[in-house]
Structure 1
Amino acid sequence: MEDEYPLQGVLESALAEAGFASDILSSGEEAITIFVARGKHHKALVTDVCLGGKLSGWDVARRMREKHPDLPVVYMMAGADLGLWKSQGVPNSVLLEKPFHPERLIAALHEL
């Protein structure tokens, strides 16, 4: 999930080049509808922490982990605060500080 449209395209291209299929969404509400309510199969969550709407990336990851406890999660955040990640992030997740090279995202997904 990423609410900045230019970055959505960069992430989608990087994921496709690495062999990942993706659903690019811009809000937590969209993600909950698609993945939790409709039960769409997914293998990982990549989310910006600050999103438009009421749900943050932290919120969405916790909700998705309720249904899939082992779901890999990669958080993206400008001015990353490790303390905030440790208190708000789900266990066994990765935090990438924006800006980052798309290869770091692919490496994080492979790591998880």
Structure 2
Amino acid sequence: MSSGAVLVVEDETMILLDLETGLEEAGFEVVGVRSASAAMAAFDEAPDAFKALLSDIRLGPGPSGWEVARHVRQVKSTIPVVYVSGDSASQWGAEGVPNSIMITKPFFIPQIITAISTLMNEQLPTDTPTQPASD
């Protein structure tokens, strides 16, 4: 995969471990944290070290996953964002950042990999020149 890590924010240890393992097995570099504050601190320390954000919504006391995504997008306006949640999906339209994906819990790791890969691929510049229309 290209340089840069996926910042994974999940307060439930077992889910975080599953996400880290699944993403690493798929070839992604991963930085996993258990709180919004830790996620924002890691991002602020080295924004260019991250190529995508995967965040739970409800992260215990403090900021939510919605807030983490808005914080990250202030610096990197096109960074891919994938949300996961067991109960906040209905708020995605109002709270989620544009061009993000919501995946409800329980989920399968391939869903996460596909969502991140899809958003990352949409970011890539196309090397194919446009062809003029023929008459």
TM-score over 0.5 for the pair: yes
Q: Which residue of 2 aligns with 1:109?
A: 116
With a CA cutoff of 8 Å and minimum separation of 6, indicate the structure with the bigger relative contact order: 1
Whether contact under 8 Å (2:70, 2:97) holds in the other structure is yes
Q: Which residue of 1 aligns with 2:34?
A: 26
Among 92, 109, 127, the alignment partner of 1:85 is 92
Whether contact under 8 Å (1:26, 1:52) holds in the other structure is no
Normalising by structure 1, we get a TM-score of 0.94
Among 5, 10, 14, the alignment partner of 1:6 is 14
Among 36, 40, 46, the alignment partner of 1:39 is 46
Give, as a single letter, the amino acid of the residue that structure 1 aligns with 2:111: R
Q: Which residue of 2 aligns with 1:95?
A: 102
**SS class of match (2:29):** coil
State how far apart, in whole Å, the 2-side matches of 1:50 and 1:66 are.
21
Q: Which has the larger radius of gyration?
A: 2
Please, which runs of 5 or more residues in structure 1 have no aligned partner? Answer: none
Give, as a single letter, the amino acid of the residue that structure 1 aligns with 2:106: P
Give, as a single letter, the amino acid of the residue that structure 1 aligns with 2:116: L
Normalising by structure 2, we get a TM-score of 0.78
**SS class of match (1:22):** strand
How far did 1:87 drift?
A: 0.3
State how far apart, in whole Å, the 1-side matches of 2:29 and 2:89 are.
29
Larger strand share, 1 or 2: 2
Among 49, 63, 84, the alignment partner of 2:71 is 63
Please, which runs of 5 or more residues in structure 2 have no aligned partner? Answer: 1-8, 120-135
1:76 and 2:84 are equivalent in the alignment: yes
80 and 55 in structure 1: CA distance in 2 versus 1, 3 angstrom threshold: closer
**SS class of match (1:94):** strand
In the TM superposition, structure 1's runs of 4+ consecutive aligned residues that sit over 2 Å from their partners are 79-82
State how far apart, in whole Å, the 2-side matches of 1:102 and 1:89 are.
21
